[in-house]
Amino acid sequence: MKSRHWLSLLIALLMPAADVAAVSSIALPAWVCSKPDAIFINGFETANAIPHDASLGNGGAYPGNVARSITVAGYATETYYLHIPANYNPARAAPLLVVLHGASGSHADAITDAQFLRSDWSSLADTYGFIVIAPVGEQSQGGWITPPGAPTDYDMIAAAFTDATIAYNIERSRRYLWGFSAGGYVAPDIVLNGFNSTINANVLAAYSINSANIDFACTAGAGGCNALLNSQTRRVPIDIHIGTQDDPQLLASVRADHTGLLAHGWVDGSTLFYTEFNDGHTYTNQLTGAWQSLCGFALSP
C-alpha cells in the first residue's frame, strides 16, 4: 500500500489518539491460549484473576463458516465472513480475532481473499477456541478505504466488530487485530491513530502485522513515526512477521520499525514480538506464531 497524501497523514497525526490511559494489556501464561474460559492465572484461587468481560451476545449461527450482513452509514449493506470454532459454547465467552486481507486487484477479489483468510485461520480457531471475523475492503482495487474522509472502511470494520459482539458471546478483554500486506498497514493506523471510537487501542488487547510496516500510520519520514510513537499513552503489544525474501525496501523498513519501537518503549518478548522468516510476501506458515503472541494478552481496566 502506498503512503496516503501528505495532507491526509498530517490530519491523522494531528487527530487526537483514543484515550487509552484507563486500560492496559496484561500478560497471560501460555496455557491460557487453549483455555479461553480460564478464571485464575495459575489455576488457584489465590492467584490473580484473568480479566473477563463477556459480551453475552446471542443469536448468531454456529459452528463453522458464517456470513453476516451489516448496515454501515454511507455504504450499502455489507457482508463480512466469520468462522465460529467447533467447540463454541454460547455460555462461555470466546476471544475474537479480526483479520484484514491484503490488496487484491478488485473488489470481487477482496471478497475471495477475505474468505481465504477466514479459511486459513479456521484450523487454529477450532484448536484454540476463538472466533474469526474477516471484513472486506471496499476500495475498487481490492484494498481499504482509509481516513480522513468519511465514511471509510474503518467504519465498516467497526460495524462488523460490533455486530459479532452482539451475535456471539465475545470475551471483550481478549479482542485482537491481525493484518496482512495492505491489511497490515491498516492495523497500526487503527491502533495508533484512534480514528474510530469502536475499534482502537482502548478495546484491543494486542495486534499483529505480516508483510507490512507502520509507516502508513505516520507522517512522511522518521520524524513522523517518532512523533506518533511518542504520543502513545500505552504500548499496545504488537507482533510483526516479515519474510527475508520480501521486497528489500519493505524488509529494511520493517527492521527500522523494530528498532524504532524499541527506542520508544516497546520491549522485545514483552510488548514486541518480531519474527523474520525465510520466505517472501506470504503469511501461511506464520499464523500459529502470530496467534501465540496475541493470545497471551488480555485487556484490563
- Residue 153, pLDDT above cutoff 50: yes
Task: Give the pLDDT mean for 149-159.
Answer: 94
Instruction: Give the confidence band of 243 by pLDDT, cuts at 50, 70, 90.
Output: very high
**What is the model's pLDDT at position 32?**
83
Q: What confidence score (pLDDT) does residue 39 get?
A: 67
One DSSP character per residue, 206-217 reads: EEEEES--SGGG
What integer pLDDT is reported at residue 48 of this predicted model?
64
pLDDT band at 45 (very low <50, low <70, confident <90, very high): very low
Sheet of strand 272-277: strand arrangement: 64-70, 78-84, 131-134, 94-100, 170-180, 206-210, 238-243, 272-277
Reduced to 3 states, what is the DSSP secondary structure of residue 9?
helix
The length of the chain is: 301
Summarize pLDDT for 137-152 with one digit per residue, the tens.
999 999 999 998 889 9
Instruction: Say which DSSP state 44 is in.
Output: S
pLDDT at 40 (0 to 100): 62
Taking only the tens place, the pLDDT of each residue in 82-121 is 999 999 999 999 999 999 999 989 999 999 999 999 999 9
Share of the chain above pLDDT 90, in %: 79
The pLDDT of residue 149: 84
Residue 19 has pLDDT above 50, yes or no: no
* pLDDT computed for residue 27 by the predictor: 93
* Residue 41: predicted pLDDT: 56
Task: Delineate the domains of the chain, giving CATH numbers in brackets.
Answer: 6-40+49-300 (3.40.50.1820)
Strand boundaries in 166-277, DSSP class E: 170-180, 206-210, 238-243, 272-277
Inform me whether the pLDDT recorded for 122 exceeds 70. Answer: yes
What are the cell numbers at 80? Answer: 463480512
